Structures are given as C-alpha cells and as structure tokens.
Amino acid sequence: MRYLLLLLVLATATGCRSLSPTETALDAVRRTYPEARPTLETTVNLGFFTRSLALSVLAMGDRRDEDTQTLRRIVRTMRRAQIRRYRLAGLDSTTLASRPFRFGPAGWEPIVRVRSGGDRIWVMGRPGERGRPGTVMIGVLEPEALTLVQATGRYERMLDAVSEAMADDR
C-alpha cells in the first residue's frame, strides 16, 4: 500500500498523464498559432442513452431529407462520441493560411487532410485491436473556431459514412 501511495504521489508531482487526442490537437494549435486564444465553448458527450435519443429524434425527421439520413447513418455507426468546440480569439484567415499546421498523434493514421479556403479539415483514424471498436477523430480549424469530434464505434462503417457525406458535399 505504501508503494502504491508513493507511486501515485510521484506520478502527480511529475505531471505524468496521457493526453487525449483532442487535447493533443488543441496543444498543436497553441504551438502553431501562439496568438490564438482558445476558450471552450461547447462540449457534447454522446453515450448509449444520448445516442439512442439522437437516433429517435432523427427517426422522426423527414425521411426524404438527405442530410438527416446521412446523419442517421453516421450516428448509427458510433458507440460513443465527444464533440468539443473552442472559440479562437486573435487568429485571422491570413495567419491561418500562412503557417503549415501538422497534427498527428502517435498511433493515429491520417485519412484525409483538406485545405478549403482559410479552413483546415483533417480526419484521423485508429483501428481497434482484436475486434474492439476503432476510433475516428475529425478536426475543423477555422479562423474563429476549432471543432474536434472523437468517435468510437464500427471503424470501417464510420469511415464509409463520413466519406459518403464528404462526397455528397462536393
């Protein structure tokens, strides 16, 4: 017991912790654009109950609306998700376009990187091991906001649904 307490104190004192991919992305934005001042605006956690509720609400929507059906397909593939939106102060589109932004946490595979006008969009993936669910992270960096979505679920189906939605937007 004494050694466990000592280990806990040492880990706390040295600041050992693993960063989640959303925190890693936020740190990458802070390093690349030090003038940007992010403040957390919204956090949405989608677990079993809220996922079921969202699917029920979407089922009541217009079945002919393509956006509703695409969103239903995406939500159906998820087990859980976390959505964070940060308001960015002090960043303009010229600064955003002038500096290269790289984000790639260890163990994550880049799937798509897009520069659209002044915005940066990336999709990263981490397949699950031995039949476990995989994780997909989507990031959208705009001059005024950073939006991060991390979802766990049926990895291949999530990628197919997101790719299909991106293809429909072109």
Is the pLDDT assigned to residue 126 strictly greater than 60? yes
Residue 18's pLDDT is 41
Q: What is d(CA 119, CA 91) in angstroms, rounded to the nearest whole number?
A: 12
Residue 19's pLDDT is 46
Q: What mean pLDDT value characterizes the chain?
A: 76
Residues 158-170: tens digit of each pLDDT: 777 767 776 665 5
Domain ranges of the chain: 21-168
Residues 40-91: tens digit of each pLDDT: 998 888 888 888 888 888 888 888 888 788 778 878 888 888 889 999 998 8
**pTM > 0.75: yes or no:** no
Is the pLDDT assigned to residue 20 strictly greater than 50? yes
- What percent of the chain has a predicted confidence (pLDDT) above 90? 8
